[in-house]
C-alpha cells in the first residue's frame, strides 16, 4: 500500500518541479497528524497512503495554477490541520503564511507542527474568518487567499475577498461538476470585486478524479459590508 502511494507522491513532486528532499518533512507531518488524530480527531483520512495524496499532494496542486518563487503573503481560511496552507509553506519557504482556524485543538496541532518543522513566518490565528476580515492589518492585505472544503463557493468568496489585495488572487480547490454553485459564485463575485480568471483541472498523478482549481482575481476593493455574519453568508448566500 504505502509504497505505491509514496511513489505517486514522489511523481507528483516531480510534476510540480519540487525537490524529492521535501519528502522528509511530509513524512514527519504525516506521522504527527496520524498520531494526534487518535486523540483529537483532526482528519477523516486515516490511511497513511491517502494522507500523502489526498491531503499533501492535493494541497500542493494549487501550485499548478499559482506559483511565485518570491515572497508573497498567503492566507488559508479554515485550514483545519493545515490544508492547503502548511504543505504550501513547506514547498515555498519564502512565502509568508497565515492560517485561520476556528477550532482550538487544530491550532494547537498547527503550532506543534510549525515548531517541529522549524518553518518561519507562519502566523496561526485561532478565530473566525468573518471576524478577522474586518480587522485592520488583515483587510486587503494578502496576495493569495485560499480555502479548501470549508463552505459553498459564494460563502467562501465572501469570506476570502475582503482579505485579498486589489490585483491579488483567490484560488479555491473544488471537485466535480459545480452547476448552480458556480453560476451563483460568479454572481456573488461581482458584488465582491472579484472575477473568475481561470478554471483548470488538477492533472497530477493520483488526483485525476475531477478535481479543479478556480482562480479568481480581485480587480477592485471589496465593499466594507462584507463579510456578513457566518449565519448570513451561509444561509443567505450572495447570488
The least CB distance from residue 173 to ligand SAM, in Å, is 8
In angstroms, rounded to a whole number, what is the distance separating the alpha carbons of residues 32 and 112?
A: 9
For residues 33 and 117, which CB has a smaller minimum distance to ligand SAM in the complex?
33
Beta strand 142-146 with 164-175: parallel, antiparallel or unpaired?
Answer: parallel
Interaction mask 75-104, ligand SAM, x per CB under 6 A: --xxxx--x----------------xxxx-
Q: Which is nearer to ligand SAM, 73 or 148 (CB)?
A: 148
Among 107, 130, 158, 188, interactor with ligand SAM by CB under 6 A: 130
> Contact between 133 and ligand SAM (CB under 6 A)?
no
Q: Which stretch binds ligand SAM (CB under 6 A): 8-16, 72-80, 110-118, 176-184?
A: 72-80
Q: How far apart are CA 143 and CA 163, in angstroms?
A: 9
| Lookup result for grid cell 506559483 | 67
49 labeled part of a ligand binding site: no
Query: Which three cell numbers, joined as nine digits, stand for 111?
Result: 503550532
From CA 91, how far away is CA 85, in angstroms rounded?
10
11 closest CA partner among 57, 43, 46, 55 = 57
Where are any strands of DSSP class E within the chain? 73-77, 96-101, 122-126, 142-146, 164-175, 194-201, 211-218
- Whether residue 129 is annotated as binding a ligand: the answer is yes
By CB under 6 A, name the one of 25, 62, 75, 129 that touches ligand SAM. Answer: 129
Compute the least distance from the CB of residue 39 to ligand SAM, in Å. 16
Question: Is residue 232 part of an annotated ligand binding site?
Answer: no
- Find out whether 99 and 110 touch, Cβ atoms under 8 Å: yes
- Residue 176 grid coordinates: 466535480
Q: 145 to 174, contacts with ligand SAM by CB under 6 A?
A: 148-150
Annotated binding site: 78, 83, 101-103, 129-130, 148
Residues binding ligand SAM (CB under 6 A): 77-80, 83, 100-103, 106, 128-130, 148-150, 230
Amino acid at each position: 500500500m504505502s509504497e505505491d502511494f509514496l511513489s505517486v507522491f514522489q511523481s507528483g513532486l516531480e510534476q510540480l518541479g519540487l525537490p524529492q528532499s521535501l519528502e522528509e518533512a511530509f513524512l514527519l507531518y504525516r506521522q504527527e497528524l496520524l498520531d494526534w488524530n487518535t486523540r483529537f480527531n483532526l482528519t477523516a483520512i486515516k490511511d497513511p497512503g491517502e494522507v500523502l495524496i489526498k491531503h499533501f499532494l492535493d494541497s500542493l496542486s494549487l501550485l499548478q495554477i499559482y506559483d511565485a518563487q518570491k515572497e508573497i503573503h498567503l492566507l488559508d481560511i479554515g485550514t483545519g490541520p493545515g490544508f492547503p496552507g502548511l504543505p504550501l509553506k513547506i514547498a515555498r519557504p519564502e512565502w509568508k503564511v497565515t492560517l485561520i482556524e476556528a477550532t482550538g485543538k487544530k491550532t494547537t496541532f498547527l503550532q506543534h507542527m510549525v515548531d517541529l518543522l522549524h518553518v518561519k513566518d507562519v502566523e496561526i490565528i485561532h478565530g473566525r474568518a468573518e471576524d478577522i476580515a474586518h480587522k485592520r492589518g488583515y483587510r486587503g492585505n494578502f496576495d493569495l487567499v485560499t480555502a479548501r472544503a470549508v463552505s459553498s463557493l459564494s460563502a467562501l468568496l465572501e469570506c476570502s475577498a475582503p482579505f485579498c489585495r486589489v490585483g491579488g488572487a483567490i484560488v479555491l480547490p473544488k471537485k466535480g461538476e459545480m452547476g448552480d454553485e458556480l453560476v451563483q459564485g460568479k454572481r456573488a463575485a461581482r458584488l465582491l470585486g472579484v472575477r473568475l480568471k481561470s478554471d483548470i483541472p488538477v492533472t497530477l498523478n493520483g488526483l485525476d478524479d475531477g478535481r479543479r482549481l478556480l482562480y479568481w482575481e480581485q480587480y477592485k476593493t471589496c465593499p466594507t459590508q462584507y463579510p456578513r455574519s457566518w449565519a448570513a453568508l451561509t444561509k443567505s448566500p450572495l447570488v
